[in-house]
Structure 1
Amino acid sequence: STSCFLLLTSFLKIYFYTGVSGVSGLPELTVVGLVDDQQFMYFDSNTKKAVPKTEWMRQSEGADYWDEETQNDNNYHKSFKNNIQVAKERFNQTTGVHTVQVMYGCEFDDQTGETDVFHQYGYDGEDFLDLDLKEMRWITPVMQGIPTVQKWNNNGALLEKDKHYFNTVCIEWLQKYVQYEKSSLKKTVSPQVSLLQKSSSSSVKCHATGFFPSGVTISWQKNGQEHHEDVYLGELLPNEDGTFQRTSTIRVSPEMRSGLTRKNKLKWKQSQNNREQTQYSVPIGIIVGARAAVVLLVIIGVAGYMVYQKKKGEGLKRC
């Protein structure tokens, strides 16, 4: 027989900054921070205040942190107005709804210690700028981005600060947020994996629940090989205790289904790399895989990098 495993690692998504112009009644800037699919902070340019959205963030950071975040986001709002005006001029736009976004982040593998980073800008849903950290230079797929690329690539000091931020500062904050969230759990995480099937159904479900963090994926094996046909992956859902659950469903033939009706026993064991895993012996293999890395994903507006520059006493990065 084959087995069903639940391997636990961390997967993080942090900060969605969205800047919009040309829409009345909506904030020009909205900031939503997410960690493991939990919203932990919020800011918009109407309320002009950054606030925590989880108890673990309220307990971990005090008033000074939120005052600084509020100041940073309000300063970013001012920079956003300048940057979107520059972009509109370059694209020869005078009216209409327009958006600016930046996605930057760092990835940390808690098993190997390896890291990876990325930093990308977008305008009206299209790629605008991309930082190649291996070459330490900005690139652009559109002619409207050339003036900014030339300006930023000629600023060696700014490129060095980018490099330091992604290789050091970003990783440090990633690890700090992971610890904040882990410490909020009031009990030891005890994930469970179950096979669910109705007697008349042609489908079998592998249901994983009670795992933390949320970076878990479910895959199926048939005769020792990965199997992707007739597989549906359900939505990642939160549990009341701060853990998560997810279900993967596969359609099976009557011959395969007959072996799933009895003698399915759940047991626990410790994996060699000290990550907790659940084994479930069944005739059809189910492997609950996991992202091997801790990922920090940050999506922000066109002056994105503002928080780091502000803390270093620098001006906001402008196009």
Structure 2
Amino acid sequence: IYSNAFLLKILFFSVRQCDKILLHSYIITYTKVQGIPGVEFTAVTEVDDQEVCYYDCNIQKLIPKQEWMKKTESEDFVKEVALRNNQTCTLFTKEILNPFSLSGAYIYQRRYGCTWDSESKHSNKFDAFGYNGEDIITVEENKYILSKQARDKWKEDIAEGFLERDGKDCVSWLNDFLAFGKSHVERIVPPKVFLLRKDPSSPVVCQATGFYPANLTITWTRNGRAYNNTVDPGEFQLNEDGTFQMSSTLRVTPEEWKWYQMCTKLSKIKRKHFLLNCVLADSATLNWREWVPYGCGLLAVIVVLCALAYCCYGKCRKSSKGKFLSQCTVHSCGVCVFVFVS
């Protein structure tokens, strides 16, 4: 599709041990289905936007979805997670569904969880109950809000009991999962960033892929100020390997490129050096500026980058033929830069 496009790709391939994801999340989605054979009750657990396990009440079995969960040394932990989900099967029927006297086919869901800042220790809890796609119970400011249907069937203290019990457990369960899946859940994978366009009159697309966690932001500025007027932001999409991808499209003419800058940033990380800045120049050249990782000698990095870039530039120019863009590489301080020139 982008055979006549310009491309630029930047890869970070080293991550410092002191980097740390600050904000974590724990979400469980319970689903009770009536009227569909073979489907009774399921529970899906997500940690930091990754599905880690699935529980099927029909077979009373916990199914790990991540390799670290399958290989965990603590069988007791896996059994405890399975037991909790099994108890919830009974709880759903006894305390939640029975008061409604439901009959026929229906889908009943509960989605609850919390976010937790590992540095400030602040947590935020959320909870919602749904019946056939409509919210009947939600949580606002740590207080349950019941719909008329729910108020007619439930006592409010039952709802408050859920918040009191599950709210306290949420952060504790989150920390247990983080402890057992630390190497996977807390990993940091910087993005591969591409700038693409189909032809000279097409919009510029910033494509970031292969990053983890899903905390990437893509922003555009005009003359140093945030610009959103002709920007089409994308949404996070999950890759097959568990990483994420995202894109953002800027719709301006090539003559206006010199006024714009693109920035991608992995946020919610303790040391925020995964920050890339690009100044759009013209259809033939892209001037990229890169924020150097902490702990590297800035002067040394600049000297090495300039020297290697000069050598690579000569080789690229010699091998560049036609409209497709050539590539060379520069390595410095754990940074791999792919520069495409025409």
CA drift of 1:185 comes to 7.8
Whether the aligned pair in 2 keeps the contact of 1:203 and 1:252 (CA below 8 Å) is yes
CA distance in 2, matches of 1:103, 1:59: 27
User: Could you say what secondary structure the match of 1:231 adopts?
Assistant: strand
CA shift for structure 1 position 253: 1.7
Distance in 2 (alpha carbons) for counterparts of 1:63 and 1:43: 16
Q: CA–CA distance in 2 between the matches of 1:220 and 1:9? A: 25
Q: Secondary structure at the match of 2:31?
A: strand
Counterpart residue number, 2:232: 231
| Structure 1 residues 165 and 247: CA distance shift in structure 2, 3 A | same
Measure the CA separation in 2 of the matches of 1:59 and 1:203. 46
How many residue pairs get aligned? The number is 260
Following the alignment from structure 2 to structure 1, what is the Cα–Cα distance between the partners of residues 199 and 173?
49
Structure 2: segments with no counterpart, 5+ residues:
1-9, 13-18, 282-287, 289-342
Q: Which residue of 2 aligns with 1:114?
A: 122
By how many angstroms is 1:9 displaced?
5.8
Is 1:130 aligned with 2:127? no
2:158 to 138, 142, 152: 152
Ranges in structure 1 where 5+ consecutive residues have no aligned partner = 287-319
Whether the 8 Å CA contact 1:36–1:215 is kept in 2: the answer is no
TM-score normalised to the size of structure 2? 0.61
**Structure 1 SS opposite 2:90:** helix
C-alpha distance 193-253 of structure 1, shift in aligned 2 (>3 A) = same
* Mapped partners of 2:229, 2:180: distance in 1: 36
Residue in 2 that maps onto 1:19: 32
How far residue 245 of structure 1 moved from its aligned partner, in angstroms, is: 2.8
Q: Deviations over 1:218-276 (max 9, x none)?
A: 23333412315341415423264x5433222222223225789xxx9x9x9xx996223
Structure 1 residues 143 and 173, CA, compared in 2 at 3 Å: closer, same or farther? closer
Q: 1:55 to 1:208 in 2, by over 3 A?
A: same
Letter in 2 for 1:149: K
Shift of 1:165: 4.8
TM superposition shift of 1:54: 0.8
1:218 partner SS: strand
Q: Which amino acid aligns with 1:100?
A: Y
- Aligned pair 1:171/2:179, yes or no? no
Alignment correspondent of 1:29: 41
Kindly provide the CA deviation profile for residues 169-220 of structure 1, in whole angstroms up to 9, marking residues without a partner as x.
4223324434544513898734343322344351112122342212223233
**Going by fraction, where is strand more abundant, 1 or 2?**
2
Matched residue, 2:196? 196
Higher-RCO chain (CA-CA 8 Å, sequence separation at least 6): 1
Residue 222 (structure 1) aligned with residue 222 (structure 2): yes
2:57 aligned with 1:45 = yes
Contact 1:238 1:244 in 2 (8 A): yes
Structure 1 residue 29, shift from structure 2 partner: 0.7
Report SS of the residue matched to 2:71: helix
The percent of aligned pairs where both chains have the same amino acid is 29
Tell me if structure 2 keeps the 8 A contact 1:210–1:239: no
* Higher mean C-alpha displacement, 47-56 vs 245-254: 245-254
User: 1:246, 1:11 → 2: CA distance?
Assistant: 20
Structure 1 contact 106–170 (Cα < 8 Å) conserved: yes
CA contact (8 A) 1:41 1:50 kept: yes
Q: Secondary structure at the match of 1:177?
A: helix
Contact 2:222-2:259 at 8 Å conserved across structures: no
Q: Which of these two proteins has the greater Rg computed from alpha carbons? A: 2
The offset of 1:32, in angstroms, is 2.0
Conservation of the 8 A alpha-carbon contact between 1:193 and 1:280: no
Question: TM-score, normalised to structure 1's length?
Answer: 0.65
Q: Is the Cα–Cα contact under 8 Å of residues 22 and 119 in structure 2 kept in the other structure? A: no
SS for the counterpart of 2:80 is helix
Q: Deviations over 1:95-139 (max 9, x none)?
A: 3x21222222222234544322222222222222234554xx533
Which residue in the other structure is 1:276 paired with? 273
Confirm or deny: 8 A CA contact 1:10 1:215 kept in the other structure: no
CA distance 1:276–1:164, change in 2 (3 Å): farther
Cα distance, 1:212–1:126 mapped onto 2, change above 3 Å: same
Letter in 1 for 2:87: N
Greater Cα offset, 230-239 or 53-62? 230-239
* RMSD, aligned CA: 4.0
Aligned AA for 1:70?
A
Contact residue 218 and residue 233 of structure 1 kept, 8 A? no
**Distance in 1 of aligned mates of 2:60 and 2:165:** 30
